[in-house]
Structure 1
Amino acid sequence: MLPFFREFGGVCADLRQAFARHVGMSPHRVQVLVRLRRNGETSHSDLRQALGIDGASVTRLIKEFEAEGIVRRRLDPADTRCTLAASTPAGERVAADLERSHQAYQERLLADATAQQQEIVLDVLRRIRANVTAQESR
């Protein structure tokens, strides 16, 4: 593996873990709450795929959230074999607080990087994304 990608992957993993510790939650709890806020009602299957975790873990997380009153779930009327999850108003508040906290956290992490340095990194990441897209369309 090239040093760039090893470092990039490590930084991404470290960021997720560090922010989760900062807010006192597991990374998956943070991701589920924010994803439900951004995407609205979502199937357990979609959450499983997006988070890369098994179905039992998704169900356990959603049941925990439901017990805390921040997520509600229901059977999908189009396919009663599937369960849908959505934030409650309390869950929306928790997720909004997480997003605000995440924004402030990111700003602190970038405080010592100049705008020019940030633009250079963003340009490299955009080039990588474009290359991924080009590779996949072949």
Structure 2
Amino acid sequence: MAFNIRKFNNAEIPVNVKEKFGTLTFLGFDENWKMVDGEPVEYPTHAEVFSDKMQETIAIKLEEGISVDEIPFMSEVEIVGQATIWIYDYEDTVYRGNNNVSEIKALAFSLRAENVKRVGAGATPQPKQEQKQEQKQEHKG
């Protein structure tokens, strides 16, 4: 019985990221994957994170057209929105010495999510001057 990748990917089965992958550490946005349907795009399509529970790097496939906040290297990040697993065919050529070449064909996965954000980065705080003006207006009313 063959495993149907397309059927699995279309099921969009949610994943509890914290439970399955533990703490995620931001490594960067993958600039090599800035293509959608064969056309170049200006926004990143994948983020690279390190999972402390798996002890591996994981690619996170991001939604189209996202805006990206600056995330410092090695910051703890969290997934924005619901995450699902995305399975794809993985092919690679490994060279060991002069005449020893191996072709690797397997299945691999990434997470699919809306975006990633730095842990603790919420709504943008208001400047102190605006906060003082709002407090004055509240006391008048």
Same fold (TM over 0.5): no
Larger fraction in helix? 1
TM normalised by structure 1 equals 0.24
Rg: which structure is higher? 2
Higher strand share: 2
